[in-house]
Amino acid sequence: MALIPPRFLDCVVAIGVKHPDKKDENEWIGTGFLIGRLFSRQADGQSDYHLFLVTNKHVLNDLQSVVVRHNPHPHSDQPAKDYEVLLIDDHGNKRWTEHPREDIDVAVICTRNPAILDRDGMRFSFFRSDSDLLDISKITAMGMAEGDFVYVLGYPMQTFSPDRRYAIARSGSIARIRDVLERRSDDFLVDVLMFPGNSGGPVVSKPESASVQGTKAIDRAYLMGVVQYAVRYLDRARSELNDRVRVIFEENSGLASVIPVDFITETIETCFANTVVVEAERADFGGKPNKYYWVTIIKRANAFWQLGDKIECVNIYEQPDSSCQLCGKHPIKQNYVLLNQRSGKTITVGSICVANFSDAIGICGEHVEILFPRKYAREAKRINTMSPCSAKIISETAAHLDANMADHLDYHEQHSKYHTT
């Protein structure tokens, strides 16, 4: 019987950077994992999630980009694939969110990647916010304490083969947690040896069939937090002549510090709250709830756009009795004609859908700014006040230049969603 659900292992990814001297090689620096933030349940039982990549701040600090490795499906002959994740946008801003408190070492990246991973045949999963997380209140209710067993998942010391990435599970136990349960500390300790590369990895509880009287048995595995560092101690070598310290050795104590899942959730909510999205209710989409609007525009945007396509606004005109070809709203007054530079196809939409187009495409796999010639600069600025980074002003000449788009995962502080049953 598996103590760690196989899908938990598929939530974990290796994080690296491109080798400065070897073009086709990466240096692996840490671990990350995917969490799905529940935002709706369908009548047919399907649940919708926003996906976030979680790791430590110190793994991402001072980097322009990282690479994330995913495995293909079992029995596939293709190797694991590395995807570039841009950490800084064109305006020099971070594309990831850190916890509001500087001393909490948690970072999250809202990911737009499911469509690309599915297309490439990659195997992945995510911890579900509504069922897989064990926060401090639940730990208290279950009566968990020092001595309970846990697993730390990750990639220490670059220990994986070139064509796959399988997370290593190290078993241990909770060494100290009462101070966290009493809200006197922000981290708890586990008795697990941790090495370079483990930073940012998930800590998972071990299922137990038996329990001490008065406490509950933990019948399944849960995500408890993210490991941040190994606790070190200093071993001093002294001279026999004068008893002075001559050499100081830093040793691994065998203890590791873990940030509870509560702080991960707070960081995800901060990322979500700071994302400006024009709500569908403003579009007055036939009085239907928000989810119907997004289902419609995601489907139509995906049919109009493919990965790497550039979208340009080639005309803006007023026609009070027209309809939006993206969401179907009627009537709309201001008409924006969007051109797909690759296919030559056009679509006429209202201002709300122009502002939301980037998010609809993001759910399909990539962040795209709609290109506005300089003569439409005023309209582009208006769109950006509705949804930042949705429009980009360009020169008339640049509007018709083709650009090669790198195949990479675009994680960004915007909404993405993934469906599960």
Q: Give the pLDDT confidence of 328-346 residue by residue, as tens digits.
A: 888 888 999 999 999 999 9
Q: Is residue 130 part of a domain?
A: yes
Contact 399, 371 (CB under 8 A): yes
Among 273, 294, 328, residue at a domain's last position:
273
Has residue 13 got a pLDDT over 50?
yes
- Give tens-digit pLDDT for 226-265: 999 999 988 888 888 888 888 888 888 999 999 999 999 9
Residue 258 CA to residue 106 CA, distance in Å, equals: 11
Instruction: Indicate the residue type of 92.
Output: G
Q: Which domain holds residue 36?
A: 6-273
Number of domains in the chain: 2
Query: Span 177-205, mean pLDDT?
Result: 96
For residue 313, name the pLDDT band (cuts at 50, 70, 90).
very high
The reply to whether 381 falls in a domain is: yes
Pair (291, 265) in one structural domain: no
- CA-to-CA dists, residue 153 to 10, 117, 166, 388, angstroms: 11, 22, 10, 37
17 and 60 within one domain: yes
- Alpha helix stretches (DSSP H) within 217-276: 261-273
What pLDDT does 421 receive?
A: 45
Q: Mean pLDDT, to the nearest integer, of 5-26?
A: 88
152 & 178 share domain = yes
* Same domain membership, residue 203 and residue 248: yes
pLDDT band at 299 (very low <50, low <70, confident <90, very high): confident
Check residues 200 and 284 and name the one with the higher pLDDT.
Answer: 200
- Say what the pLDDT of residue 418 is: 53
236/288 same-domain check? no
> Which of the two residues, 223 and 293, has the higher pLDDT score?
223
Q: Are 264 and 225 in contact (CB under 8 A)?
A: yes
Residue with tokens 């700071």: 274
Residue type, 395: S
Lowest mean pLDDT, pick from 98-102, 323-327, 383-387: 383-387
pLDDT (mean) for 30-50: 83
Q: What percent of the chain has pLDDT over 90?
A: 46
Task: Tell me: do 93 and 130 sit in the same domain.
Answer: yes
Whether 409 is in a domain gets the answer no
Residue 410 within a domain: no
One domain for residues 123 and 203: yes
pLDDT, position 211: 65
Cα–Cα distance, 11 to 68 (Å, whole number): 12
Q: How far apart are CA 297 and CA 361, in angstroms?
A: 9
pLDDT at 404 (0 to 100): 36
Pair 249, 327 in one domain: no
Q: Which pLDDT score is estimated for 199?
A: 96
Tell whether 167 and 292 lie within a shared domain: no
Do 210 and 294 have their domain in common? no
In a domain, 383, yes or no: yes
Is the predicted pLDDT of residue 398 greater than 80, yes or no?
A: no
Higher pLDDT, 5 or 355: 5
Mark which of 258, 273, 288 sits at the end of a domain: 273
CATH number of the domain within which 129 lies: 2.40.10.120
Instruction: For residues 214 and 300, state if they share a domain.
Output: no
pLDDT in tens, 127-172: 999 999 999 999 999 889 999 999 999 999 877 677 788 899 999 9
Does residue 67 form part of some domain? Answer: yes
Q: What's the pLDDT at 277? A: 36
Q: How far apart are CA 199 and CA 352, in angstroms?
A: 41
The span from the CA of 263 to the CA of 241, in Å, is: 50
User: Considering only CA atoms, which of 341, 344, 333, 338 is closest in space to residue 297?
Assistant: 338
92-129: pLDDT as tens digits: 888 899 999 999 999 999 875 566 777 788 889 999 99
pLDDT for position 362: 59
Tokens linked to 64: 């322009």
Boundary of a domain, candidates 273, 299, 317:
273
Question: What average pLDDT does range 61-83 have in this prediction?
Answer: 90
Give the chain's mean pLDDT: 83
- Asked whether residue 294 carries a pLDDT value surpassing 80, the answer given is no
Rounded to two decimals, the pTM is 0.69
339 and 376 co-located in one domain: yes
The model's pLDDT over 271-289, given as tens digits with 9 standing for 90+, comes to 877 654 333 333 344 444 3
